[in-house]
Structure 1
Amino acid sequence: MKKILIVDDHQQITEVLKEYVLKEGFTPVIVSNGQEALNAFYKHTIELILLDVMLPVLDGFEVCKKIRETSNVPIIMITAKGEDYHRIMGLDIGADDYIVKPFSPSEVMARIRAILRRIERTEENQQSMAYLTYDNLALYLEEKKVTIEQKEILLTKRELELLWLLLSHREKVFSRDNLLDSLWGIDYYGDARTVDTHIKRLRAKLDEVPHPQWEIATVWGQGYKFEGKNEK
């Protein structure tokens, strides 16, 4: 069974999440601090991580950063109500999603199902396409690798999927809701700011190498698209 790593130092929360994870047919791996989270991640084959921000030893941000150095495993950050900067910081360092306390366990499981379905759907789509290119940009799906002028650009799994979706439908405008449905799943409970944050981070990474012939363009009032100057 797929293993879900649950990282929280509140036993009442982990016990509830454990029961729901078991009912969904997953195997829970439960730890209570950041260092234990890293140890468990490297010990087990983890499919997804539920990661609280406020943790003993190492906080959730440090855990996420360290895991992102070697893995694109889906990470859902758990943040306190009203602390938007935690949500933004989590997305900036590579988290895939966030849950705000107090939360509904059924909502958490809906998020997990949506992410895992999206990963399976993306992997199926990737099997039919070896790579995508435009001008000096190349996206190698099997290797999960992106280069500009042959320089590798390190993207998270979600950023790569976002670029793949836009690049494979050049000049098509995707609304924020389109992108949420395609990449986060139709039962995603978050808001459009999640898309904006990922677009901002993706652009910043792509801008490390000049690419005057293309861009991730904002279509005001509509959304985003991959825009190539050769196709204007």
Structure 2
Amino acid sequence: MKTILIVEDEDILREISKDYFLNEGYKVLEAADGKAALLSFQEHEVDLVVLDIMLPELDGWSVCRRIRKQSDVPIIMLTARVDEDDTLLGFELGADDYVTKPYSPPVLLARAKRLLESRSRIGKSAQPDDSVNTNGIRAHIPSRSVTIDGAAVNFTHTEFEILTYLMQNPGIVITREQLITKIWGYEYAGDDRTINTHIRNLRTKLGVKAGMIVTVVRTGYKFEANA
């Protein structure tokens, strides 16, 4: 049974979302503020976090940042803001997806299912030694871990998905539309800056290997093993 941590200070919204997840067979943990959310995350095994941005005690940005220091658990951020820059900030901090308020609970449930299923699908299909290795970058599929020249580097769920997708298709131009379909699998409501932000995060973490992800102007990206 997968466990969902819902962090939302509006009681009605939290209860409605909770009911939808419970009806689908998930275990649900609740938190009404940022500090309670971090405490619950520390005390329980959590498979996915639904995280509101505007919270008392500690805001969603801070909670996301602290969770990312210790875990790559999928995070969906809830925001009442319409400013795209706020969404991009969430991605920069390590969020995997976002839902804008007011939202439909079935939509939130569908987004959560996709994130959870993509992780489970990789785990089930992979063999113990399944990995992608290129010029010192090793992405181990079953454990969703990455090492660069032997040193472990933490990647978020979405960053790992993008990196492995590019590495498994070396030299092939992958359009932004292909990445969006592969990673999110639903009608996209944002703009190209979302993908750009994830790619920028990837390059930062890849360090001296960053040049392997090549930008193809007005199209997308490709992974060049010899870059």
TM-score, length-normalised on structure 2? 0.90
Q: CA deviation at 1:48?
A: 0.9
Match of 1:124 in 2: 124
Supply the distance in 2 between the matched residues of 1:66 and 1:197 (Cα, whole angstroms): 19
Supply the distance in 2 between the matched residues of 1:146 and 1:2 (Cα, whole angstroms): 24
User: Any conservation in 2 of the 1:159–1:198 contact (CA below 8 Å)?
Assistant: yes
Residue identity matched to 1:187 = Y
Residue identity matched to 2:178 = N
Match of 2:218 in 1: 221
Match of 2:196 in 1: 196
Supply the distance in 1 between the matched residues of 2:3 and 2:187 (Cα, whole angstroms): 21
Task: Provide, for residues 149-195 of structure 1, a one-character-per-residue CA deviation record: whole Å limited to 9, x for no partner.
Answer: 334333223212211111111112211221122222x2354434322
User: Any conservation in 2 of the 1:81–1:102 contact (CA below 8 Å)?
Assistant: no
User: Any conservation in 2 of the 1:217–1:227 contact (CA below 8 Å)?
Assistant: yes
Secondary structure of 1:229's counterpart equals coil
Secondary structure of 2:72's counterpart equals coil
- Higher mean alpha-carbon deviation, 115-124 vs 10-19, is at 115-124
Task: Provide, for residues 72-103 of structure 1, a one-character-per-residue CA deviation record: whole Å limited to 9, x for no partner.
Answer: 11100111231322211111011110111111
Residue identity matched to 1:113 = K
Judged with a 3 Å threshold, the aligned counterparts in structure 2 of structure 1 residues 168 and 158 are, in CA distance, closer, same or farther, namely: same
Q: CA deviation at 1:128?
A: 6.5
Residue identity matched to 2:225 = G
Structure 1: give runs of 5+ residues left out of the alignment: none
User: Any conservation in 1 of the 2:88–2:193 contact (CA below 8 Å)?
Assistant: no
Supply the distance in 2 between the matched residues of 1:169 and 1:18 (Cα, whole angstroms): 39
User: Any conservation in 2 of the 1:21–1:28 contact (CA below 8 Å)?
Assistant: yes
Counterparts of 1:1-232 in structure 2, within 5 Å, are 1-127=1-127, 129-184=129-184, 186-187=185-186, 189-191=188-190, 192-206=192-206, 208=207, 210-211=208-209, 215-229=212-226
Give the % identical residues: 37
Secondary structure of 1:9's counterpart equals coil
When the two structures are aligned, how many residues end up with a matched partner? 226
User: Any conservation in 1 of the 2:180–2:188 contact (CA below 8 Å)?
Assistant: no
Supply the distance in 2 between the matched residues of 1:83 and 1:221 (Cα, whole angstroms): 24
Considering only aligned residues, what root-mean-square deviation do their CA atoms show, in Å? 2.1
Q: CA deviation at 1:135?
A: 2.0
Structure 2: give runs of 5+ residues left out of the alignment: none
Judged with a 3 Å threshold, the aligned counterparts in structure 2 of structure 1 residues 11 and 211 are, in CA distance, closer, same or farther, namely: closer
Supply the distance in 1 between the matched residues of 2:52 and 2:138 (Cα, whole angstroms): 35
Secondary structure of 1:46's counterpart equals coil
User: Any conservation in 2 of the 1:114–1:188 contact (CA below 8 Å)?
Assistant: no
User: Any conservation in 2 of the 1:114–1:187 contact (CA below 8 Å)?
Assistant: no
User: Any conservation in 2 of the 1:110–1:188 contact (CA below 8 Å)?
Assistant: no
Residue identity matched to 2:214 = A
